[in-house]
C-alpha cells in the first residue's frame, strides 16, 4: 500500500497533464484519445480502451476515486447547485418545498452561524445521553436513536454508526406487505474486519481511529479524552466481534429470521427490549426480521455486561462524531482527516457548496428531483430510454428461450418474472410529500436531525402496509441504477441517463454498449445469485428445478473463482463471493445488451466508424463506461467491503463473451483468453 505522501507526490507529478485530463469525454462517439493501442485487446482490454486516460488523468484532490460515474456526479451536482441557487431568488413562501430546499442549503453554507452555535444544536441529544440513569434508560435512548437506513439488498456498503438500523421493505415471505428488518451497526469504521484484521495497514488504521476518537472528545472539552477513547474503541471492537461478516450478510437465507417481539428477551438477553422498542416507536409491531442474529445477541449482551458509564461515553462520542460535518470547522476538519484522508486517501475536502448540495439532495431528494427532471430530462429522453429498455428486456427473454440447459418448468417461471418486472425510468410516478418537515435557515445540524427523524417516521408508517411496487429507492439526480428484488422492480434515475452513458441523439451502438449494458446489468440482478432466489412476486422462494439450480450455481462458482484470481493490490485479491452478484449481472447484462444492440440493427452488426467495426465499438463503449481510478486507501477499503469489483476488472469481463473474441481476433496465449469451455455463460 502506498503512503498518502506518495499519492500526493504522484498527483503533483501529474499536474502537467491536468489540461488534457480535464477535457471531458465526447458527448457521443468513442473517446479515441483515451485509448492505448500499444496494448493488445486480448491482454488487457481495459487498458486498450482507457490506458492513455489512466496515465494522464489525476484523481482530483477532493476525491478518493475518479471515473465516469464521478464525472457525471459532478455534472449532476453542478446542475443541482444551479437549481438550488435559483430557489434563493424565487423567494418562495415559508413551508413550500422550494423554500425548504433554499433554507436547507443556505444553513449549511452559513459557516458563521455554525461557528457561533458551537455544540448548541447537538446539546439536546447530549443532554438526553447524560440523563441516562440505568440500563432501562439506556435501552430507551438506544431505541429512540434507531433510524431508517439504506436498502440492505443492494448496498453492500451498508452500515450505521448506531447499534442497529431499521430497513422497511417487503416481507421475504409475503411481498405484498412491508415489514421491518433490524440490521447490525454501532461501528465508526466501515466493517468488522477494520477492527479484527492483523494486517499492518489495518493495525495502523485502528490506531488512527483511536486517535480520532480522542481528538473529537478533546474538541468537545470532555475530560480524560485519551482514556475514554481507548475504552470506546474496545467497546466498538466487541461490537465488531458480534457482527456477521460481509459474505454471510449477503446470504438472504441467513437474513430470513422472523422474531416475534415478545421473544427478543429470550433470543437476545441483556438489552431491555421492551424499553428499546418503546423508544423506537415499534412496540405495536408483532414481529421484526433480524438480518444478523449474531449481532443482535452480541450487542444485547454488551448492553448488560459493559458499564453504563462506558455506554454513555460511547453514545456521546457517536453523537458528536455523527454531527461533526455540520459543527464548527475544527470538528468538520477532524472528521475529514479520518474519514476522508485516513480511510480513502483523499488529501483535500470537497468544496463546501458541493457538500451542501449533496446533503440537501439527500434530505429533500424528491423535491430537488422535481426541479432536476423539469430542467434536464425532457420527455423525448425518457421515451428513447424506455425504447432501449424494452428492446433489452426482449433480448433477455430470447436468451432465456435459448438456454439449452434450462428445463421448461424453470423457464416458464423465469419468463413470468421478467414479464412482471417494473421498470422506472428517470423519476418516480408519485413524488414524496415533505409536509411537516421543519427546515430552518440558521440550523444546519438541526435540519439534518429533523430530516433523519422525518425519514424514520415515514418508514415506520409503512410497516404492515401494502407494498407500492412503483416506489423508488433513488432520487432522479442520483448517478446510479438499482434492482429491488423484493419489489421485482428497477430504477434508472435521470442523472445516469446522460453522456457518455446515454445520449438520445447518439449512435445506438454506443448507447447499447454504455447505458444498455447498465440496463442489462440491472435486469440481470433479478436473476443473479441473490435475485434468482425471489419469484415473480418478490417472494423468497426457490422456483428452480434442482438440476437447473445446480447448473446455475456451478457457473456462478466458476465466475467467483475467476474474480478471486484478480489482485488489485499486492497480496489483496478481489473477493469473488462478495462481488458475485455484480459480476453475474455484468456478464449477463453485457450479453443481453449485445443481443439488444444487434436486434436494433435487424440482427446485424452496427455501422463502422473511426476505424472500428460496430461490434468493436460496442465493446469499447462498455469498457470506457467503466474507466475509473482509486487511491490505494480507498481501493483497500473497497476490496474489503464493496460488493462491486473495481472498474478495470468489470471491463475485462468481456473475456466471457464469445463475440468479443471474434470482434478483436483474440487468440489463445493472450492474457485474457479463456477457452470456450472455460467462459462463464449464465443467461
Report how far residue 453's alpha carbon sits from residue 657's, in angstroms, rounded to the nearest whole number: 47
Q: Averaged over 215-235, what is the pLDDT?
A: 98
Contact present, 625 and 636 (Cβ < 8 Å):
no
Report how far residue 628's alpha carbon sits from residue 648's, in angstroms, rounded to the nearest whole number: 7
Give me the numbers of helices (H) and strands (E) for the chain, helices first please. 32, 9
C-alpha separations of 627 from 71, 100, 431 in Å:
11, 37, 33
Name the residue among 376, 651, 371 with its Cα closest to residue 504.
376
C-alpha separations of 380 from 324, 425, 426 in Å:
43, 12, 11
Lookup: cell for 4? 498518502
Give tens-digit pLDDT for 568-587: 999 999 999 999 999 999 99
Q: Averaged over 124-143, what is the pLDDT?
A: 98
Peptide bond connecting 500 to the previous residue in cis, omega within 30 degrees of 0:
yes
Report how far residue 346's alpha carbon sits from residue 65's, in angstroms, rounded to the nearest whole number: 8
Contact present, 129 and 315 (Cβ < 8 Å):
yes
Which residues neighbour 217 within 8 Å (Cβ) at sequence distance 6 or greater?
225, 228, 229, 316, 317, 320
Name the residue among 355, 326, 363 with its Cα closest to residue 104.
363
Name the residue among 165, 159, 225 with its Cα closest to residue 188.
159
Lookup: cell for 49? 480502451
Q: 3-class DSSP state for residue 247?
A: helix
pLDDT of residue 254 exceeding 70: yes
pLDDT of residue 397 exceeding 90: yes
Contact present, 514 and 621 (Cβ < 8 Å):
yes
Q: What is residue 528's predicted lDDT score, i.e. its pLDDT?
A: 84
Give tens-digit pLDDT for 150-193: 544 444 344 589 999 999 999 999 999 999 999 999 999 999 99
φ/ψ region of 29 (left if φ > 0, alpha if ψ in -120 to 50, else beta) reads: left
C-alpha separations of 267 from 101, 173, 298, 351, 434 in Å:
44, 21, 11, 47, 38
Contact present, 189 and 640 (Cβ < 8 Å):
no
C-alpha separations of 457 from 63, 147, 443, 446, 450 in Å:
33, 9, 21, 16, 10
Contact present, 347 and 341 (Cβ < 8 Å):
yes
Q: Which of 6-15, 19-28, 222-231, 395-404 has the highest mean pLDDT?
A: 222-231
Domains and CATH numbers, the chain: 134-217+224-306 (1.10.1380.10), 379-428+476-678 (3.40.390.10)
Contact present, 210 and 201 (Cβ < 8 Å):
no
Lookup: cell for 194? 477494520
Give tens-digit pLDDT for 534-558: 999 999 998 999 999 999 999 999 9
Contact present, 370 and 94 (Cβ < 8 Å):
no
Q: What is residue 28's predicted lDDT score, i.e. its pLDDT?
A: 55
Q: Averaged over 344-367, what is the pLDDT?
A: 94
For the question of whether the overall pTM of this predicted structure is more than 0.95, the answer is no
Q: Averaged over 10-27, what is the pLDDT?
A: 33
Give tens-digit pLDDT for 51-70: 999 999 999 999 999 999 99
Helix H, strand E, coil C: the string for 305-334 is HCCHHHHHHHHHHHHHHHHHHHCCHHHHHH
pLDDT of residue 641 exceeding 90: no
pLDDT of residue 205 exceeding 90: yes
Question: What percent of the chain stands above pLDDT 90?
Answer: 86
The conformation of residue 671, written as its DSSP 8-state character, comes to T
Lookup: cell for 215? 481528538
Contact present, 488 and 538 (Cβ < 8 Å):
yes
Bridge partner list, 422: 489
pLDDT of residue 519 exceeding 50: yes
Question: What percent of the chain stands above pLDDT 70?
Answer: 94
CB atoms within 10 A of CB 439: 26
C-alpha separations of 16 from 11, 50, 142, 299, 499 in Å:
10, 19, 52, 52, 27
Q: What is residue 354's predicted lDDT score, i.e. its pLDDT?
A: 94
Residue 250 — pLDDT band, cuts 50, 70, 90? confident
Only one residue has cell 417481539, namely: 261
Give tens-digit pLDDT for 365-383: 999 999 999 999 999 999 9
pLDDT of residue 89 exceeding 60: yes
Contact present, 653 and 46 (Cβ < 8 Å):
no
pLDDT of residue 642 exceeding 70: yes
Q: Averaged over 194-222, what is the pLDDT?
A: 96
Report how far residue 663's alpha carbon sits from residue 648's, in angstroms, rounded to the nearest whole number: 20
Give tens-digit pLDDT for 271-327: 999 999 999 999 999 999 999 999 999 999 999 999 999 999 999 999 999 999 999
Cα four-point dihedral sign 662, 666, 671, 677: positive
Give tens-digit pLDDT for 3-12: 332 222 222 2
Distance of CA 256 to the CA centre of its chain: 22
Contact present, 36 and 20 (Cβ < 8 Å):
no
Stretch (H or E) spanning 422? strand 422-426
Amino acid at each position: 500500500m502506498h503512503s498518502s505522501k506518495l499519492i500526493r507526490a504522484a498527483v503533483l507529478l501529474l499536474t502537467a497533464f491536468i489540461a488534457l485530463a480535464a477535457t471531458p469525454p465526447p458527448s457521443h462517439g468513442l473517446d479515441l484519445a483515451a485509448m492505448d493501442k500499444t496494448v493488445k485487446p486480448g491482454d488487457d482490454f481495459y487498458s486498450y480502451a482507457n490506458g492513455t486516460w489512466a496515465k494522464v488523468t489525476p484523481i482530483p484532490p477532493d476525491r478518493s476515486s475518479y471515473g465516469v460515474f464521478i464525472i457525471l456526479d459532478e455534472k449532476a451536482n453542478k446542475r443541482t447547485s444551479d437549481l438550488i441557487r435559483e430557489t434563493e431568488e424565487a423567494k418562495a413562501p415559508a413551508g413550500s418545498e422550494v423554500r425548504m430546499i433554499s433554507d436547507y442549503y443556505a444553513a449549511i453554507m452559513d459557516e458563521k452561524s455554525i461557528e457561533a452555535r458551537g455544540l448548541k444544536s447537538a446539546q439536546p441529544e447530549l443532554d438526553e445521553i447524560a440523563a441516562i440513569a440505568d440500563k432501562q434508560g439506556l435501552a430507551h435512548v438506544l431505541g429512540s436513536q434507531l433510524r431508517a437506513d439504506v436498502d440492505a439488498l443492494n448496498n453492500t456498503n451498508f452500515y450505521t454508526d448506531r447499534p442497529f438500523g431499521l430497513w422497511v421493505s417487503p416481507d421475504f415471505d409475503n411481498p405484498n406487505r412491508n415489514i421491518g428488518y433490524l440490521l447490525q451497526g454501532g461501528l465508526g469504521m466501515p466493517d468488522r474486519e477494520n477492527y479484527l484484521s492483523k494486517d499492518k495497514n489495518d493495525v495502523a488504521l485502528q490506531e488512527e481511529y483511536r486517535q480520532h476518537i480522542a481528538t473529537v472528545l478533546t474538541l468537545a472539552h470532555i475530560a480524560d479524552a485519551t482514556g475514554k477513547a481507548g475504552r470506546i474503541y474496545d467497546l466498538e471492537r466487541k461490537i465488531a466481534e458480534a457482527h456477521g461478516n460481509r459474505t454471510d450478510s449477503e446470504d438472504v437465507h441467513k437474513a430470513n429470521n422472523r422474531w416475534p417481539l415478545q421473544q427478543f428477551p429470550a433470543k437476545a438477553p441483556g438489552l431491555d427490549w421492551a424499553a428499546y422498542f418503546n423508544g423506537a416507536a415499534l412496540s405495536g409491531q408483532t414481529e421484526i426480521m433480524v438480518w444478523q442474529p449474531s449481532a443482535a445477541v452480541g450487542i444485547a449482551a454488551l448492553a448488560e455486561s459493559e458499564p453504563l458509564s462506558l455506554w454513555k461515553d460511547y453514545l456521546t462520542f457517536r453523537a458528536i462524531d455523527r454531527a461533526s460535518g455540520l459543527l464548527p470547522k475544527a470538528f468538520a476538519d477532524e472528521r475529514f482527516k479520518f474519514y476522508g484522508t485516513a480511510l480513502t486517501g483523499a488529501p483535500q475536502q470537497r468544496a463546501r457548496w458541493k457538500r451542501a448540495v449533496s446533503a440537501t439532495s439527500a434530505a429533500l431528494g424528491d423535491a430537488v428531483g422535481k426541479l432536476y427532471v423539469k430542467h434536464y430530462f425532457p420527455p423525448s429522453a425518457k421515451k428513447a430510454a424506455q425504447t432501449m429498455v424494452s428492446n433489452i428486456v426482449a433480448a433477455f427473454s430470447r436468451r432465456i428461450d435459448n438456454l439449452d440447459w434450462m428445463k421448461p418448468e424453470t423457464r416458464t417461471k423465469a419468463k413470468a418474472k421478467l414479464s412482471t418486472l417494473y421498470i422506472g425510468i428517470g423519476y418516480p410516478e408519485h413524488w414524496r410529500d415533505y409536509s411537516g418537515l421543519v427546515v430552518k435557515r440558521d440550523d444546519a445540524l438541526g435540519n439534518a436531525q429533523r430530516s433523519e427523524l422525518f425519514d424514520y417516521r415515514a418508514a415506520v408508517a409503512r410497516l404492515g402496509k401494502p407494498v407500492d411496487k412503483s416506489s423508488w429507492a433513488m432520487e432522479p439526480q442520483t448517478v446510479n441504477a438499482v434492482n429491488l428484488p423484493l419489489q421485482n422492480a428497477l430504477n434508472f434515475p435521470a442523472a445516469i441517463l446522460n453522456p457518455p452513458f446515454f445520449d438520445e441523439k447518439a449512435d445506438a451502438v454506443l448507447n447499447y454498449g454504455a447505458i444498455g449494458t447498465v440496463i442489462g446489468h440491472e435486469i440481470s440482478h433479478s436473476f443473479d445469485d441473490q435475485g434468482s432466489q425471489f419469484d415473480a412476486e418478490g417472494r423468497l422462494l426457490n422456483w428452480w428445478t434442482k438440476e437447473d439450480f445446480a447448473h446455475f450455481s456451478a457457473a456462478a462458482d466458476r465466475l467467483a473463482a475467476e474474480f478471486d484470481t484478480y489482485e488489485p493490490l499486492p497480496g489483496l485479491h478481489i473477493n469473488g463471493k462478495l462481488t458475485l452478484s455484480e459480476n453475474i449481472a455484468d456478464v449477463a447484462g453485457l450479453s443481453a445488451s449485445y443481443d439488444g444492440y444487434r436486434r436494433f440493427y435487424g440482427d446485424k452488426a452496427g455501422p463502422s466508424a473511426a476505424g472500428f467495426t460496430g461490434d468493436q465499438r460496442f465493446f469499447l463503449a462498455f469498457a470506457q463506461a467503466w474507466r475509473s481510478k482509486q487511491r490505494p486507501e480507498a481501493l483497500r477499503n473497497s476490496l474489503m467491503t464493496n460488493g462491486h469489483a473495481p472498474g478495470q476488472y468489470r471491463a475485462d469481463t468481456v473475456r466471457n463473451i464469445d463475440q468479443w473474441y471474434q470482434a478483436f481476433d483474440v487468440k489463445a496465449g493472450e492474457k485474457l483468453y479463456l477457452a470456450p469451455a472455460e467462459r462463464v455463460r449464465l443467461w
